[in-house]
Amino acid sequence: MSDVTELETPGGSIGVYTRPKANTGWRDWITTVDHKKIGILYGATAMFFFAIGGLEALLIRLQLATPDGTVLGADTYNRVFTMHGVTMVFLVIMPLAAAFANYLLPLQIGARDVAFPRMNALSFWIFLAGGLFLNMAWIVGDAPDGGWFAYAPNTGMIFSPGKGMDYYAIGLQITGIASLISAMNLIVTVLNMRAPGMTLFKMPVFTWMILVVQFLLLFAVPVITVALFLLLFDRNFGANFFNPEMGADPLLWQHLFWIFGHPEVYILILPSFGIISEVIPTFSRKPLFGYPFMVFSGIAIGFMGWGVWAHHMFVSGIGPISVAAFSVSTMFIAVPTGVKILNWLATMWGGRIRFNTPMLFASGVVSMFTIGGLSGVTHSLAPADTQQTDTYYIVAHFHYVIFGGALLGIFAGFYFWWPKVFGHLLDEKWGKWNFWLMIVGFNMTFGPMHILGLQGMSRRIDSYSPGFGFEFWNMFASIGAFIIAVGVVVFMVNVVISARRARTAPPVGLDPWDARSPEWFSPNPTPAHNFDEDIQINSLDEFWHRKYGEDEDGRVVRVATAEEVCQDGSATDTHLPSPSYWPVVLAAGLPFVGFGLMYTLWFCVPGGALVLMAIYGWIFEPVDDPDGPHGHGGHGDEPTEDPPSEERADDASAETTEEAPVG
């Protein structure tokens, strides 16, 4: 974050009809609507929560390192693992994916920003509000204790009388709003704002996967919204949705949760699939093998993900016919996923691979995810799952897919796009340490959990007695977890060291990896306006194709340098969406509404007032501040001359304004 350099005269800038102008300093970060800054905010916030979720994980592993552990005690343990799961899923992996999506998606489609920049800011601030709200439960001393899937009726008022589950319900509700807004925004962005010539099937795979994820979010979030509302009403207003004493069926919660929950796991993994689909071809010096199949398999996973949710309920007593149907449907998810794995391998096969850190992580995803996927397939056999479910074998499965799949992929993305975002590379030596520590620690932690699970160790137990054969591997796993932690610390050190070094070192250059996709047309770090002019897209991997041609022997030869191909970022007369206060104000209102629902409805008043004020301020705010940053008055109208067509489209996308009275 840049230092505070410019102080505003507050008088003029907080009015309803002006927009904030700061271009630097903290105020800029608060009011920014720049998708790149929002991406960075998402990333930084998610890493902050990752530290929290990771510390919770370490507490879990400390407690379980020895039999009859006493580090936490039963009550705290239950809260810790619940918050660990919730934090990691909703406050770490999802926002990290959102960080990449926000930063890269407009760049990859050659756009100036997203379709609704203010809404983009809004979704970040709402996410932050939700995340802080959720973790507030620790401070109040009443963290949720019902497990991340919060099975009723254990989460009802009778069995969970504290406020913990209210924090859970409201906190997730708030982050859900954020996801929904962001999903709608990005869908419109992808559909409407692609550079000239970029048909859907010339979009980078990462963009494709993000698009699929946004559709999953669009349709899955409302389902958990319903579930959380019902839970909230049960707990606070005496409704009877999950109270068996009044004749309710607790399985309703399970259905609603998992109808959301299974698409959710693909929401977690597909961004990472997208990332490594960019990394692997780049470092293999080959195009992605079977691009159409990669795209279609991603879509297929998205679709099939809707028809398998009850595989989480194989033993809950939903009836043999239902179990059979869900068991079979689940098995076939292995097919499109397998297509992906094999296509990555085929991409690497025959390549000339540079094993830089991003590639190490990407290759790690391919192997580690496969392990998790295969154990997933063993769960999908319903009879087998009756032995496996709710044991550490499941814990092993989902950490292999989530850590080994999603998180490692995200680390690949960090190393790959760091120069794009910050203008310098992360150090390779530290990067390799980072990778190897993580991969070793990860396998040490979660590998033994397969064994523990098959030996019958249940999950969510705060302690186990000696004599069940669990001692050795638990200790082993705990050691592994701390090795992961060292790996994470190495990453953080790398970030700091590399940033320090970059101050004196020469800039990274335009094309550090010899990359392929259009985001690299703009210089590093990306200038505020992204592109000087629109890029005409003629093919997939346009950037690469402008650099390389083929000589008469069919050999690949360089035809242009990166300097010739890239834009220099010198354009000054570009029109950017103006920053706004209202997103953060609106988001700030939501936690108050939440507290109101939990403690006293009076809190809802200031909360609701903030929200309303923000909405109206938002609507009446001039769409573009004539004096805004990089703004040049008079752009509100269509240009009167006949500019080159690129520039016109360019202009239109610059004016990605929003009316926002609705929705």
Partner 1 sequence: MRPPRPLRRPPLADTAAVSHGHGTGTGLSDNKLLMWVFLGSECLLFGGLISTYLIYRSRFGDGPAPGDIFDIPFTSVSSFVLLMSSLTMVLALSALQRGDIRNNRIWLLTTALLGSLFIGGQVYEFTTFVREGLGYSTSPFSSAFFTLTGFHGVHVSLGILMLMSLLISSLRGTLTTERSETVEIVGLYWHFVDVVWIFIFTVIYLVPSPTS
Partner 2 sequence: MIPKSLRRSPSPGRLVSLAIGGLLVLTGCAAEAPLDTLEPQGPISRSIDSLSDPIFLVAGVVFVIIFGATAIIWWKFRDDHSTDEFPHQLHGHFRAEISWTIGPAVLMAVIAVFTLLSHFDLNSEDRTDIVVSVDGERTSWDPEVLVVGQQWWWEFRYYFDGLDGLDLSDARNLPPADIVAANQLVIPTGSEIGLRITSRDVIHSYWIPALNGKRDAVPGRMAPWKIEAETPGVYFGQCTEFCGLSHSRMRMQTVAMDPADFQLWVDQQMKPAVEPTDTAALRGRAIFEGQCARCHVVNGINDGGGADLVANAAPNLTHMMSRTTFAGGIFDLYEPDGSLNRTQLEAWLRNAPAEKPAYAEGRRGMPAMGLSESQIDDVVAYLQTLGTAPAMDVITATEVD
Partner 3 sequence: MSTATESPVESHEAAHEEGHDHPSDRRYIQVAVILAIVTALEVGTYFVHMPGEVLIPMLMAMMIYKFFYVAAWFMHLRFDSPLFTKFFVSGLVLATIVYGITLTVFEFWHKG
Binding stretches for partner 3 (CB under 8 A): 191-193, 219, 223, 249, 251-252, 255, 259, 306-307, 310, 318-319, 322, 623, 636, 638, 648-649, 651-653, 655-659
The interface region with ligand HEA, picked from 151-159, 485-493, 621-629, 653-661 by CB under 6 A, is 485-493
Among 57, 339, 587, 588, binds partner 2 (CB under 8 A): 339
Which listed option, partner 3, partner 1, Cu ion, none, makes contact with residue 262 (CB within 5 to 8 Å by class)?
Cu ion
Distance separating alpha carbons of residues 363 and 110, to the nearest angstrom: 28
Of the two residues 249 and 568, which places its CB atom closer to partner 2 in the complex?
249
CA atoms within 13 A on the CB side of 432: 4
Cβ–Cβ contacts within 10 Å for residue 379, how many?
Answer: 20
The interface region with ligand HEA, picked from 398-406, 496-504, 610-618, 652-660 by CB under 6 A, is 398-406
Q: Does 545 bind partner 1 (CB under 8 A)?
A: yes
Judged on CB neighbours under 10 Å (0-12, 13-18, 19+), 504 is exposed
Which listed option, ligand HEA, Cu ion, partner 2, none, makes contact with residue 89 (CB within 5 to 8 Å by class)?
ligand HEA
Residues that bind Cu ion (CB under 5 A): 262
Residues that bind partner 1 (rule: CB under 8 A) add up to a total of: 69
- Least distance in Å: CB of 94 to Cu ion? 16
Cβ–Cβ contacts within 10 Å for residue 516, how many?
Answer: 23
Distance separating alpha carbons of residues 597 and 579, to the nearest angstrom: 32
Q: Fill in the per-residue mask, 128 to 167: x = in contact with partner 2 (CB under 8 A), - = not in contact.
A: -----------------xxx---x-xx---xxxx------
Among 6, 550, 568, 647, binds partner 1 (CB under 8 A): 550
- Least distance in Å: CB of 478 to partner 2? 15
Cβ–Cβ contacts within 10 Å for residue 480, how many?
Answer: 21
Which listed option, partner 2, partner 1, ligand HEA, none, makes contact with residue 619 (CB within 5 to 8 Å by class)?
partner 1
Best CA proximity match to 282, nearest among 366, 201, 338, 348: 348
- Least distance in Å: CB of 658 to partner 2? 39
Among 121, 126, 231, 406, binds ligand HEA (CB under 6 A): 406
Among 119, 485, 586, 593, binds ligand HEA (CB under 6 A): 485
Which listed option, partner 2, partner 1, ligand HEA, none, makes contact with residue 614 (CB within 5 to 8 Å by class)?
none
- Least distance in Å: CB of 38 to partner 3? 20
Q: Does 367 bind partner 2 (CB under 8 A)?
A: yes
- Least distance in Å: CB of 564 to partner 2? 19
Q: What tokens were used for 481? A: 């977890």
Amino acid at 412: A
Among 4, 6, 14, 468, binds partner 2 (CB under 8 A): 468
Of the two residues 57 and 195, which places its CB atom closer to partner 3 in the complex?
195
Write down the residue that tokens 């795979």 correspond to.
205
Tallying the residues shown for the chain, one arrives at 663
DSSP 116-173: -HHHHHHHHHHHHHHHHHHHHHHHHT----STTTT-TTTTSTTT--SSHHHHHHHHHH
Site for partner 1 in 79-118 (CB under 8 A): 115-116
Q: 486: which residues sit within 8 A by CB, 6+ positions away?
A: 437, 441
Q: What tokens were used for 599? A: 């403690």
Locate all alpha helices (DSSP H) within 193-242, ordered by sequence: 205-237
Q: Does 512 bind partner 2 (CB under 8 A)?
A: no
Give the burial string for 123-153 (b: 16+ CB within 10 Å, else e).
Answer: bbbbbbbbbbbbbbbeeeebbbbbbbbbebb
Q: Does 660 bind partner 2 (CB under 8 A)?
A: no
Q: What tokens were used for 328? A: 């079979």
- Least distance in Å: CB of 601 to partner 2? 26
Among 196, 456, 525, 622, binds partner 2 (CB under 8 A): 456
Locate all alpha helices (DSSP H) within 425-523, ordered by sequence: 428-454, 471-504
* Phi, psi angles (nearest 5°) of residue 150: 50, 55
Among 128, 205, 221, 402, binds partner 1 (CB under 8 A): 221
Site for partner 1 in 194-213 (CB under 8 A): 194-202
